[in-house]
């Protein structure tokens, strides 16, 4: 039986995990990890707390599912794209991946999860370790691989790829946190698109190795 022909109650049951994840994302971003209660997530999703427990064992598992649904999947797709982009110049690939990070995560409501982690990681070390293992390390690994690729191909200056990963990701993190914290309060908000364009142009010029002139 297709989803369109199922009884309404059965279609609703199939949709519940996604509805719970959407409700949890809103509450985690609005209230933080500590202040989010499972009964409030259930109420936001229109189900009972008991129903929530059918899908998620506790708040920690619910948070992990939210992160995996909204961030880890994006990183996985980017890793697949990198593996299939052998012919793409490294500078273009780096620009594409940093823009993807901005458009798919950092400029969206999902970015509130990063702000949450920076604020509450010290109080919840298990959650912090999970976020590091499944988001930070794979995300940094993706950028490091592109930088290493560019250095090995002679397209980039001989930089330390691990160190340079932190250099090129920090401005995007700053912009993301600014958008979540200060933009609603200031009279002259940052033009995120102009910021990203200026930043990426600067990175590309700084990393790109000039062609070697032919020997006379």
* pLDDT at site 10: 45
Bridge partners (DSSP) listed for residue 208: 156
Scan for tokens 């070697």, then name that residue.
212
- pLDDT at position 181, please? 72
User: What is the spatial distance between Cα 154 and Cα 178, in angstroms, rounded to a whole number?
Assistant: 35
Neighbours of 102 (CB within 10 A): 21
Under a CB-based contact definition with an 8 Å cutoff, are residues 46 and 57 in contact? no
Q: What is the pLDDT of residue 176?
A: 86
Question: Which pLDDT tens digits describe the chain residue by residue (216 residues)?
Answer: 444 444 444 435 555 899 999 999 999 999 999 999 999 999 999 999 999 999 999 999 999 999 999 999 899 999 999 989 999 999 999 999 999 899 998 888 899 999 899 999 999 999 999 999 999 999 999 999 999 999 999 999 999 999 999 999 999 988 888 877 766 666 677 888 899 999 999 999 999 987 766 665
CB-based contact 179:116 (threshold 8 Å): no
pLDDT of residue 142: 95
Q: Are 127 and 67 in contact (CB under 8 A)?
A: no
Token duo for residue 143:
């950028």
β strands within the chain, DSSP E: none
Token pair, residue 114, equals: 């990063």
Per-residue burial over 70-82, b = 16 or more CB atoms within 10 Å of its CB, e = otherwise: bbbebbeebbeeb
Phi, psi of 156 (to 5 degrees): -115, 155
Distances 208 to 27, 55, 86, 151, 198 between C-alpha atoms, Å? 43, 49, 18, 9, 16
């Amino acid at each position: 039986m297709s989803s369109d022909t199922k009884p309404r109650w059965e279609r609703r049951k199939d949709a519940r995990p996604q509805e719970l994840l959407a409700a949890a994302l809103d509450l985690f971003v609005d209230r933080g990890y500590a202040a989010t209660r499972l009964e409030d997530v259930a109420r936001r999703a229109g189900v009972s707390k008991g129903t929530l427990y059918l899908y998620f064992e506790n708040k920690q598992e619910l948070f992990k599912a939210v992160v995996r649904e909204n961030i880890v999947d994006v990183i996985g797709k980017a890793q697949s794209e990198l593996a299939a982009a052998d012919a793409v110049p490294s500078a273009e690939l780096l620009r594409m991946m940093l823009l993807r990070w901005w458009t798919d995560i950092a400029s969206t409501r999902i970015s509130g999860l990063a702000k949450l982690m920076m604020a509450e990681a010290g109080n919840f070390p298990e959650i912090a370790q999970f976020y590091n293992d499944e988001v930070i390390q794979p995300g940094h690994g993706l950028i490091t691989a592109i930088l290493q690729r560019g250095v090995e191909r002679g397209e980039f200056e001989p930089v330390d790829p691990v160190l340079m990963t932190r250099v090129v990701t920090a401005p995007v993190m700053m912009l993301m946190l600014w958008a979540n914290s200060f933009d609603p309060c200031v009279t002259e908000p940052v033009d995120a698109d102009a910021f990203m364009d200026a930043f990426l142009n600067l990175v590309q010029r700084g990393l790109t190795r000039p062609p070697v002139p032919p020997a006379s």
